[in-house]
């Protein structure tokens, strides 16, 4: 599979500098804030008030909500940093996200990213042609079960959901595995 190399006007590029030492993330299930750190040039999570930076992200989490004014995803998961890779595991006792009615986008490689100027979120099917009319959907928020990846060799500030999504009547993207 080859993802499109085109980018939006507000793209942020990852720093090539090493992140350096970070203390371990405490064990357990956490409420997590995920965002792009525009000053440091890395993706970051905030857990129990502590910031952790990463260049690669793999795993699963519950997306609880989005902070549209600040461009943050609010997650719940078990998290671990190993080197510059963040791995997350969904709470094993959490029920699956409830199926909703709406427009279904089949299982694919969906880019999730924040559009700062308009404070909205994008859901882009990376397997479709860039100009395909169904490739991009602008949404007000994300919720649901994230099956995520973002590889270290992708220097642009976004993550991917490998699953399907349903866009509800309020333009919220519900994520499913």
Per-residue pLDDT, averaged over 136-149, amounts to: 95
Is the distance from CB of 150 to CB of 109 less than 8 angstroms?
Answer: no
Mean pLDDT, all residues of the chain: 90
Range with the lowest mean pLDDT among 13-17, 80-84, 133-137?
13-17
This prediction's pTM: 0.89
Determine the pLDDT at residue 148: 93
Bigger pLDDT: 12 or 20? Answer: 20
What does the alpha-carbon distance between residue 103 and residue 49 come to, in Å, rounded to a whole number?
Answer: 37
pLDDT tens-digit map of 66-119: 999 999 999 999 999 999 999 999 999 999 999 999 999 999 999 998 887 788
Q: Is the pLDDT of residue 154 over 90?
A: no
Q: Is the pLDDT of residue 10 over 60?
A: no
What does the alpha-carbon distance between residue 147 and residue 123 come to, in Å, rounded to a whole number?
Answer: 14
Q: Is the pLDDT of residue 5 over 60?
A: no
CB atoms within 10 A of CB 162: 14
């Amino acid at each position: 599979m080859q993802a499109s190399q085109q980018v939006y006007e507000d793209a942020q590029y990852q720093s090539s500098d090493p992140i350096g030492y970070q203390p371990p993330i405490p064990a357990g299930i956490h409420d997590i804030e995920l965002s792009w750190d525009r000053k440091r040039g890395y993706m970051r999570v905030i857990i129990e008030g502590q910031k952790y930076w990463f260049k690669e992200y793999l795993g699963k989490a519950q997306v609880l909500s989005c902070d549209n004014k600040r461009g943050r995803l609010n997650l719940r998961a078990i998290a671990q940093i190993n080197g510059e890779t963040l791995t997350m595991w969904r709470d094993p006792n959490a029920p699956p996200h409830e199926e909703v009615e709406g427009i279904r986008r089949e299982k694919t490689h969906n880019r999730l990213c924040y559009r700062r100027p308009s404070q909205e979120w994008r859901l882009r099917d990376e397997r479709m042609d860039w100009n395909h009319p169904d490739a991009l959907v602008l949404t007000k928020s994300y919720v649901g079960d994230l099956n995520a990846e973002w590889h270290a060799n992708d220097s642009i500030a976004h993550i991917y959901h490998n699953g399907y999504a349903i866009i509800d009547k309020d333009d919220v993207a519900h994520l499913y595995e």
